[in-house]
C-alpha cells in the first residue's frame, strides 16, 4: 500500500482558500491517510488511504469533523472559509474528471456522505446523485444514450434529497413507486420503464414541494450546501444519539462529510453495487462475505429495498471484476491487519472502491478473527486482546433454542418461514410492528421482537429495546443486520416468505392462511434464519465449547495484573465461576443462605427468641447447616489443574433482621382480618407475635439502620455462629487435603472502634475452634468499605483490618445520598437520558430547528459505571491511606462495578488487587483487566 496518488490538477485555488481561513477545513483524498480518522472520520481516512495506494477510487474530498463541531458551536453556521475551501476543492475534482458541476453537457454528479471516527452504520445521512436537475439530466442521457438510467438517477436523487434534506415522508415516494410497479406489472424498481420514471420525477418534485413549502432546489451549488448542512445535522439526530449512547461513543466527536464523484451501478446489467466483508462477520470464517445487486445503487443494498445476490454470482456475471475485487479485498485486510467493511460499485464493467473501514462483527467472529490473525502472523497476542470488546464476550454465551422444544414446535407445525441468518442468537417475545411500540413495551419490561418490512436508521430506538429483529426484506449486510450484530441482538433478515402490514399491525406468511397479530408471541433464530410462531424456550451456550475464547482469555491472563474473583453464594455458583476463570470468591452473602425455605423458620425463631439462650438454641440448629454451605464453597474453589485452594471472602450477616420476617403491612392485614372474624388459636398467636417483632424492628430508613456490624455488636452470637461455621468448615475440608483460605468480612463499618470490637469477639470464637479441633486455619479478618466515613478514615481502619473490599453499590448510594431502587425508578435514568430544558416559568426550550432541548445531569448511571470524580476519589483515598498504615493490605471490589469494563480500567489505575463480579461477568472482567494494563502502557508512552 505504498503507492501514492497525485492530487491531480493544480491546487492553488484550494491553497488560497485555506490561507484566507482560520483553519484547513477541507482535505482532498490524496492529502489524507489512515491515521487521520479523528479528523477525517473512518470513511474519509479509508478512501484517502486507498487513493494514496493507487486503488480505483473516484476522486473527492473530505470536510473535517472539526468543521462539524465548529458548525454547532457557531450556531449552525458554516465555519469561516469552509464553504470557499469546499468550492475550491470541487473545482479541482472538475479538473481531474473533465466534468463540470452543473454543466449541461458533461455534468459532474457527486455523493455527499457522513463519516465519523467510529463506525455508526446507517445512523447518519447520505445523498447520492447530487447535481441533477432538468438540464443536467439531459446531459447524462445524451452522454450515456440511456434515458431510463438518467431518469432513474434523477428520481433517486429527488427521493433521497427530499427525505434527508427537506424532511419529506419517505412513504409518499414509496407509494408512487408501488403504483408504478403495479401499473407496469413488474416486481422491482429496476424494471420500471423510462417513460414512467420521467413522469415520476415530476410527481416526486410535487411531494418534495408539499413537504418543504418551496420548489425543489435546482441549483447544484445550493443542493450541495443544503446536503452538507443535512449531514452535519444528522450527527445529532435521534437515531445517532441513541446509537452512540448504546455503543458508548462520545457525543463531541462530530462527523466528517465526504464529497465524491458519483459512479453508477444502475447503468445496466454490466453495472452493479455491493457491500463486502473480508471475513464472515457472523462466524469469523476466512472468506469473502459479500452481496451485490446488478443494475442498482448502493443504498438499495444497505437499506434492504431489494434482496441482493451472493458475491459468488458476480464471479459468474463479471469474472474479471470479481477477480480484481477479491485481490483488492485481501490487500486491504493485510494492510489494515483487520477485517474490512467494503463498499464498491461497478460502472459499465469497471470496478470502483468507495469505502474501507474496520468492520462490525459478532462476538464469535471478533474472537475467532483475533485468534486467527495471531496464528496468521498479522497481529500480536496483545493486539488480539485489544481487538475484542469485553462486553462482546457476553454475547458468546447467548441463548439458543432448546433443541427438544424446537423439534416439538416444528412437529406442531409452528415453523413459519426461513430468512437469512443475519445475527446469531435465539430470541422470543411478542411481535410488534413499529419501533415506537417496541421502545415503549421494551422499557416496560415486556419481551418484544421487532418485525419490519425492512429497518431504517429511524428504527434504532426500537431495536435497542427489542430481544430480536425480523425483516421481510434486506440481506446480511442490510441496516438491520449490521446494527443487530453491533448490539448483540438475534436478527433474521430478508425473510421474503412473510408480508408485513405496518398499518394493520400484523404479518402473514405468503401462500398460507397464517397471520400473526401484534402482541402474539414469535420466536426467531438468528443463527439459522428460522422463524416460529409461539414461544420456544432457550438454553444458554456452553463455555467449554468456546475454544477460541479460552485461548484469547489465556493470553489476557498473561497480561492482566488484577485478580478476577466472583460473587458466589452457593457451590453451584462457585463451580461456574471457576469454569469461567475466577481465582477466588470476592463476596459470599451469607444471608442469602438464610432465605432458603427449610432454614427460614429457624431464622425466624432465632429473631423472635425473647432471650439470648433461646436465640442460641436456634443458632445451634443453623450452625451445621451454614458449615455445610461453606464446606461446599471451599471444595468448589480450587485450581482445576493444581488443586490449590482459592481465597473465599465471606461477608457476615448484613441486612436488618426484619427482612427475614413477613412485611409489616401484610401481617397487620392478616391479624386484623382474623380478629374481625373472631378467630382464635395458634396461628393468630403466631402472627401477633411476629407482628409485634416486626413493629419493634421496623425502621424509617433500614439501609442506614440496624444492619451490618451494628447488628453484630448488638447480637454478637449471630456473628460468632457464622465465624465458627466458616472455620469449622475449613477444618473439615482440611482433613480432606484442602487448605481453605477463608477471609471473614465485617460489613458496614463506619468507625475503627466498631471493627475493633467485632474482631475481638470473633477472634475469641476462632481461638475456641482451634483449641477444640487442634487444627490451625489460615484465615483473615477484613472489612467492607461502603460508607464515606470508612473511606476517609481508612488509615485507622487498616490498623485493624487485614483486607478491604469496596462495596461500591452502597458506597455510591451513601456518597450520593440516594436509594438506588427509588432513584432509578424516579429520576436517575432521566438524569442520564436528559431532562427537558425549561425556563423559569416551566416552558420547554427549543433549538433552532424547533426541537426540544434537553439537559443531561449525568453522563452515565453511577451504579453501572463507577463515578470516578466522587466515589472513585473515595476509593483512591482509602487505598492510599490504608496501605500507608498496612503495606500488606489486600484491596478489592465486590460491587457490580467489578464486572464493568470502564470501572475495571479505573480500578487498575487505583491499584486494587482484584475485582469480583457475577460468575457470568468473569470472562468480561478478565479481558477488561488485560486491556486496562495495555491502555496504561499506551498512556505511559
The H or E element that residue 854 is part of is: strand 854-855
* Count of Cβ atoms closer than 10 Å to residue 214 Cβ: 9
894 is catalytic: yes
Residues 6+ apart with CB under 8 A from 125: 114, 164, 230, 231, 233, 234, 237
Q: Are 71 and 236 in contact (CB under 8 A)?
A: no
- Three-state DSSP string of 750-765: CCHHHHHHHHHHHHHH
Q: Are 50 and 353 in contact (CB under 8 A)?
A: yes
Q: Which phi and psi angles does 672 have, rounded to 5°?
A: -60, -45
Tell me which of 479, 709, 897, 917 is the catalytic residue.
479
Measured CA to CA in angstroms, residue 577 lies from 242, 389, 638 at distances of: 33, 20, 11
Half-sphere exposure in the Cβ direction for 434 (13 Å, CA): 8
The H or E element that residue 411 is part of is: helix 403-411
Measured CA to CA in angstroms, residue 482 lies from 422, 486, 842 at distances of: 8, 6, 41
Cα 325 to Cα 340: distance, rounded to the nearest angstrom: 13
Q: By C-alpha distance, which of 620, 360, 611 is closest to 479?
A: 360
Where in 391-472 does DSSP place strands (E)? 400-401, 415-418, 420-423, 426-432, 448-452, 468-471
Q: What is the DSSP letter of 107?
A: B
DSSP string spanning 803-846? Answer: EEEE-HHHHHHHHHT--HHHHHHHTHHHHHH-EEPB-TTSPBPB
Q: Are 93 and 19 in contact (CB under 8 A)?
A: no
Largest CA distance in the chain: 104
Q: Are 712 and 758 in contact (CB under 8 A)?
A: yes
Residues 6+ apart with CB under 8 A from 703: 810, 813, 819
The H or E element that residue 441 is part of is: helix 435-443
Tell me which of 495, 894, 897, 917 is the catalytic residue.
894
Residues 6+ apart with CB under 8 A from 200: 151, 155, 176, 177, 180, 192
479 is catalytic: yes
Q: Are 839 and 926 in contact (CB under 8 A)?
A: no
The C-alpha cell at 516 is 400473526
Phi-psi region of 442 (alpha: psi -120 to 50; beta: other; left: phi over 0): alpha
Q: What is the DSSP letter of 215?
A: P
Residues 6+ apart with CB under 8 A from 493: 304, 419, 420, 422, 469, 470, 471, 473, 474, 475, 476, 478, 480, 481
Residues 6+ apart with CB under 8 A from 859: 832
- Residue 523 pairs in a beta bridge with 428, 532
| Interaxial angle between packed helices 147-164 and 194-212, expressed in degrees from 0 to 180 and rounded to the nearest 10 | 20
- The residues annotated as belonging to the active site are 479, 894
Amino acid at each position: 500500500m505504498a503507492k501514492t496518488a497525485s492530487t491531480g490538477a493544480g491546487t492553488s485555488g484550494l491553497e488560497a482558500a485555506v490561507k484566507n481561513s482560520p483553519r484547513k477545513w477541507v482535505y482532498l483524498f490524496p492529502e489524507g491517510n489512515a491515521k487521520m480518522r479523528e479528523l477525517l472520520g473512518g470513511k474519509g481516512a479509508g478512501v484517502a488511504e486507498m487513493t494514496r495506494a493507487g486503488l480505483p477510487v473516484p476522486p473527492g474530498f473530505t470536510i473535517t469533523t472539526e468543521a462539524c463541531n465548529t458548525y454547532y458551536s457557531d450556531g449552525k453556521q458554516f465555519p469561516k472559509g469552509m464553504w470557499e475551501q469546499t468550492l475550491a476543492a470541487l473545482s479541482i475534482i472538475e479538473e481531474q474528471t473533465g466534468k463540470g458541476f452543473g454543466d449541461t453537457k458533461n455534468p459532474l454528479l457527486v455523493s455527499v456522505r457522513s463519516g465519523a471516527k467510529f463506525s455508526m452504520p446507517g445512523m447518519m445521512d447520505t445523498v447520492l446523485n447530487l447535481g441533477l436537475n432538468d438540464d443536467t439530466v439531459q446531459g447524462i442521457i445524451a452522454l450515456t444514450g440511456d434515458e431510463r438510467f438518467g431518469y432513474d438517477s434523477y428520481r433517486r436523487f429527488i427521493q433521497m434529497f427530499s427525505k434527508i434534506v427537506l424532511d419529506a415522508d419517505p412513504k409518499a415516494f414509496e407509494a408512487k413507486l408501488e403504483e408504478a410497479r403495479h401499473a407496469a406489472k413488474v416486481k422491482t424498481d429496476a424494471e420500471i420503464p423510462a417513460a414512467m420514471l420521467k413522469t415520476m420525477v415530476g410527481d416526486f418534485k410535487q411531494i418534495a414541494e408539499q413537504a418543504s413549502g418551496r420548489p425543489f432546489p435546482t441549483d447544484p451549488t445550493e443542493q450541495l450546501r443544503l446536503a452538507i448542512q443535512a449531514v452535519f445535522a444528522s450527527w445529532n439526530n435521534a437515531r445517532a444519539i441513541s446509537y452512540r449512547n448504546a455503543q458508548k461513543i462520545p457525543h463531541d466527536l462530530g462527523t466528517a462529510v465526504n464529497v465524491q464523484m458519483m459512479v453508477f451501478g444502475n447503468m445496466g446489467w454490466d453495472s452493479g453495487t455491493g457491500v463486502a466483508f473480508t471475513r464472515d462477520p457472523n462466524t469469523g470464517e476466512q472468506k469473502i462475505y459479500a452481496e451485490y445487486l446488478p443494475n442498482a445503487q448502493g443504498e438499495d443494498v444497505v437499506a434492504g429495498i431489494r434482496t441482493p445476490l451472493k458475491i459468488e454470482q458476480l464471479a459468474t456475471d463479471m469474472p474479471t471484476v470479481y477477480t480484481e475485487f477479491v485481490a483488492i479485498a485481501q490487500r486491504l485486510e493485510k494492510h489494515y491487519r483487520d477485517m474490512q467493511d467494503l463498499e464498491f460499485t461497478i460502472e459499465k464493467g469497471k470496478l470502483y472502491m468507495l469505502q474501507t473501514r474496520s468492520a462490525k462483527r459478532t462476538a464469535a467472529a471478533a474472537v475467532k478473527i483475533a485468534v486467527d490473525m495471531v496464528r496468521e502472523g498479522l497481529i500480536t497476542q496483545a493486539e488480539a486482546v485489544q481487538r475484542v470488546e469485553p462486553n462482546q464476550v457476553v454475547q458468546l454465551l447467548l441463548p439458543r433454542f432448546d433443541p427438544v422444544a424446537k423439534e416439538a414446535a416444528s412437529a406442531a407445525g409452528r415453523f413459519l418461514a426461513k430468512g437469512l441468518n443475519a445475527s446469531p442468537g435465539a430470541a422470543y417475545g411478542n411481535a410488534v410492528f413499529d419501533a415506537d411500540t417496541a421502545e415503549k413495551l421494551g422499557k416496560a419490561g415486556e419481551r418484544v421482537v421487532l418485525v419490519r418490512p425492512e429497518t431504517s436508521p429511524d428504527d434504532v430506538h426500537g431495536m435497542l429495546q427489542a430481544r430480536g429483529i425480523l425483516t421481510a426484506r434486506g440481506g446480511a449486510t442490510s441496516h438491520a443486520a449490521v446494527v443487530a450484530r453491533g448490539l448483540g441482538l438475534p436478527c433474521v433478515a430478508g425473510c421474503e416468505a412473510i408480508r408485513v402490514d405496518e398499518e394493520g399491525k400484523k404479518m402473514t406468511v405468503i401462500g398460507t392462511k397464517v397471520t400473526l397479530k401484534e402482541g402474539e408471541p414469535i420466536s426467531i433464530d438468528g443463527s439459522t434464519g428460522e422463524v416460529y410462531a409461539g414461544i420456544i424456550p432457550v438454553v444458554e451456550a456452553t463455555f467449554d465449547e468456546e475454544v477460541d475464547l479460552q485461548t484469547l482469555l489465556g493470553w489476557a491472563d498473561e497480561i492482566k495484573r488484577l485478580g478476577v474473583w466472583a460473587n458466589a453464594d452457593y457451590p453451584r455458583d462457585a463451580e461456574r465461576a471457576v469454569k469461567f476463570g475466577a481465582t477466588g470468591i470476592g463476596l459470599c452473602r451469607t444471608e442469602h443462605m438464610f432465605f432458603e425455605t427449610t432454614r427460614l423458620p429457624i431464622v425466624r425463631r432465632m429473631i423472635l427468641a425473647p432471650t439470648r439462650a433461646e436465640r442460641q438454641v436456634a443458632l445451634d440448629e443453623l450452625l451445621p447447616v451454614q458449615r455445610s454451605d461453606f464446606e461446599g464453597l471451599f471444595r468448589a474453589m480450587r485450581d482445576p489443574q493444581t488443586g490449590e485452594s482459592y481465597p473465599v471472602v465471606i461477608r457476615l450477616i448484613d441486612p436488618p433482621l426484619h427482612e427475614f420476617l413477613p412485611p409489616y403491612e401484610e401481617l397487620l392485614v392478616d391479624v386484623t382480618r382474623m380478629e374481625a372474624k373472631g378467630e382464635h388459636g395458634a396461628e393468630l398467636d403466631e402472627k401477633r407475635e411476629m407482628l409485634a417483632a416486626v413493629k419493634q424492628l421496623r425502621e424509617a430508613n433500614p439501609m442506614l439502620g440496624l444492619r451490618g456490624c451494628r447488628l453484630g455488636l448488638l447480637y454478637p452470637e449471630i456473628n460468632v455462629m457464622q465465624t465458627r461455621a466458616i472455620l469449622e468448615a475449613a477444618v473439615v475440608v482440611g482433613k480432606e487435603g484442602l487448605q481453605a483460605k477463608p477471609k471473614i468480612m465485617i460489613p458496614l463499618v463506619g468507625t475503627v472502634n466498631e471493627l475493633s470490637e467485632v474482631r475481638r469477639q470473633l477472634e475469641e470464637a476462632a481461638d475456641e475452634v482451634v483449641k477444640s479441633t487442634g487444627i490451625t486455619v489460615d484465615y483473615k479478618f477484613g472489612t467492607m468499605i461502603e460508607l464515606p466515613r470508612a473511606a476517609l478514615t481508612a488509615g485507622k481502619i487498616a490498623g485493624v483490618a487485614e483486607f478491604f473490599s469496596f462495596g461500591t453499590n452502597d458506597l455510591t448510594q451513601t456518597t450520593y445520598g440516594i436509594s438506588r431502587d427509588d432513584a432509578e425508578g424516579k429520576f436517575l435514568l432521566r438524569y442520564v437520558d436528559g431532562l427537558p430544558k425549561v425556563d423559569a416559568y416551566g416552558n420547554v426550550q427549543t433549538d433552532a430547528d424547533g426541537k426540544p432541548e434537553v439537559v443531561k445531569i449525568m453522563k452515565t448511571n453511577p451504579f453501572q459505571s463507577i463515578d470516578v470524580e466522587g466515589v472513585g476519589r473515595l476509593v483512591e483515598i482509602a487505598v492510599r491511606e490504608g496501605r500507608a498504615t498496612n503495606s500488606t493490605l489486600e484491596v478489592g471490589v465486590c460491587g457490580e462495578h467489578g464486572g464493568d469494563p470502564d470501572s475495571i480500567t479505573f480500578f487498575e489505575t487505583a491499584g486494587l488487587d482484584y475485582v469480583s463480579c457475577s460468575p457470568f461477568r468473569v470472562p468480561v472482567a478478565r479481558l477488561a483487566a488485560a486491556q486496562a494494563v495495555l491502555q496504561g502502557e499506551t498512556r505511559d508512552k
